[in-house]
Amino acid sequence: VTVAAHGVADRIHAVLAAQRTELRHVSLDIHSHPETAYEETRACATLAGLLKSHGFDVRRGVSGMETAFIADAESGSGGPRVAYVCEYDALRGLGHACGHNLIGTASAAAGIALLQALRESGVPGRVRVVGSPAEETGGGKIPLVTDGVFDDCDAALILHPDDRTMAVMWALACTHWRWSFTGRAAHAAGDPDQGINALDAFVHAYNGVSLWRQQLKDGARVHGFIEEGGTAPNIIPERTSGEFLTRARDAAYLEEMNTRFRAIFEAAASATGCVLELERGDDYRDLRSNAVLAERCGAHLDAVGLDRREVTPWDRVGSTDVGDLSYACPTLHPTVAITEEGVSCHTHEFREAAATESAHDAMLSGAAALALTGADVIAEPSFREAVRAEFTAQPWRRPDWAGSQP
């Protein structure tokens, strides 16, 4: 039984066309009210309300996160289950420069369109839309994964706006560090010998990182910033603090890097007589796409008229907690172009692009591709089995995963 035979595909397009105005309004509302990690109360309420009004049963405040939600619905009784994952957090200081307004709305739109198309076609299936806060920092998907939210899902899908449309995205494993050096204040002219200079400690650490960088493996990254650098030019800086990220293509090399990273900061403390506090925050895993989902979703991206690029693995990559999701459930995270090629996210240009009319056209085309791929998972048993087989063959996968029909 194919999706086309049920007319599901045509109905998905019809629902998205009919809902265009409302979906664009939701996306622009999120864009114009940027909220950072775990403070996304307005965006969470907006998306939860949208899903509720389209027949979803919505639970908010799940997995110990105020701004997370799980929305469930079924078209008949039981059947396979597909998850769509919403993100809606903004960047500190830069607003929606990663376009999460488009991600959150696209996933909700895909869920709404798929549910309605399945209902109208009489195909039994279950749709779950998961609201995942704090993608930029914090990692909202990690507690959701730990709580088993995706263990009974046959696939998880989420798109990302980009400057290129691609079926497959790569992402680096990543560790988030918060650091501070504490020394002793002194009159910088009168009694410099009485001071212990916390800015010198950071300069030491920064130079250590910069020298280390030339020995790193391909693709590894280390970068950060200083938040407190001192208080006045006539005082020996008593305290400096900030954040860093270490990133690598796999968790094993990231651990090697983290050992060295800590040693560099400890050496700087030792060299200057400062006290170091180094707090290791959240870890994101690398992203492992389901190849079977990727091939099918690629065909749908082509079919909806997006100009898809051939992918060079690891070309211009970041990190995402979708990586953690990809270890827990068959996952695909395609990208959809909303700008000219060469405009990178986390820039002012990208934030402006995420609010344009053409970005919303791309968002809805991408949502259609996600919904069509989900429809195939639900209505095409051989495809669903192939997705499952590809995932269960992986030794690294989360052992608790069973899919909808264990």
Cα 219 versus chain centre, distance: 19
Cβ distance to Zn ion smaller for residue 98 or 129: 98
- Which residue's C-beta sits nearest to Zn ion? 98
Compare residues 112 and 172 and give the one whose CB is closer to Zn ion: 172
Q: How far apart are the first and last CA of the chain?
A: 21
Question: What is the closest distance, in whole angstroms, from the C-beta atom of residue 136 to Zn ion in the complex?
Answer: 5
By CB under 5 A, residue 90 contacts Zn ion:
no
Longest CA–CA span in the chain (Å) reads: 85
Taking CB under 5 A as the binding criterion, the range among 92-100, 150-158, 211-219, 333-341 that sits at the site for Zn ion is 92-100
Of the candidate spans 56-64, 90-98, 288-296, 386-394, the one that interacts with Zn ion by CB under 5 A turns out to be 90-98
**Angstrom distances, CA of residue 208 to CA of 105, 205, 236, 307:** 43, 5, 22, 43
In order of 176, 248, 381, 405, the CA distances from 384 in angstroms are 36, 32, 5, 11
Cβ nearer to Zn ion, comparing 98 with 109: 98
Nearer to Zn ion among residue 65 and residue 98 (C-beta): 98
> Which of the 8 DSSP states describes residue 93?
T
Q: How far apart are CB 160 and Zn ion at their closest, in Å?
A: 8
In the bound state with Zn ion, the residue whose beta carbon lies nearer, of 142 and 276, is: 142
Q: Which tokens go with 339?
A: 């700008």
Instruction: Kindly state the smallest distance separating residue 355's Cβ from Zn ion, in Å.
Output: 16
Q: Output the smallest distance, CB 346 to Zn ion, in A.
A: 6
Residue (344 or 392) nearer to Zn ion, CB? 344
CB of 345 to Zn ion, least distance (A): 6
Decide: residue 312, CB within 10 A, 0-12 exposed, 13-18 middle, 19+ buried. Answer: exposed
Least distance from C-beta 333 to Zn ion, angstroms?
12
Binding mask 93-132 for Zn ion (x = CB under 5 A): -----x----------------------------------
What is the rounded CA–CA span in Å between residue 111 and residue 335? 18
Closer of 86 and 155 to Zn ion (Cβ): 86
CB of 94 to Zn ion, least distance (A): 9
- Least distance to Zn ion from the beta carbon of 102, Å? 12
DSSP H helical ranges for 225-329: 251-272, 291-303, 322-328
For residue 393, which phi and psi values (nearest 5 degrees)? -75, -10
Per 3-state DSSP, what percentage of the chain is helix, strand, and coil (rounded to 5)? 45, 20, 40
**135 vs 141: CA distance, rounded Å:** 8
CA–CA separation, 40 vs 141, rounded Å?
A: 15
Best CA proximity match to 85, nearest among 114, 105, 56, 60: 105
Determine phi and psi for 341, rounding to 5 degrees.
-65, 135
Closest to Zn ion by CB, 205 vs 354, is: 354
According to CB under 5 A, which residues from 28 to 57 bind Zn ion?
none
Q: Check residue 287 for interaction with Zn ion (CB under 5 A).
A: no
The least distance separating Zn ion from the CB of residue 401, rounded to whole angstroms, comes to: 26
Distance between CA atoms of residues 109 and 4, nearest Å: 20
The number of residues that bind Zn ion (CB under 5 A) is 1
CB closer to Zn ion, 89 vs 152: 89
Residues 6+ apart with CB under 8 A from 213: 222
Residue ranges binding Zn ion (CB under 5 A): 98
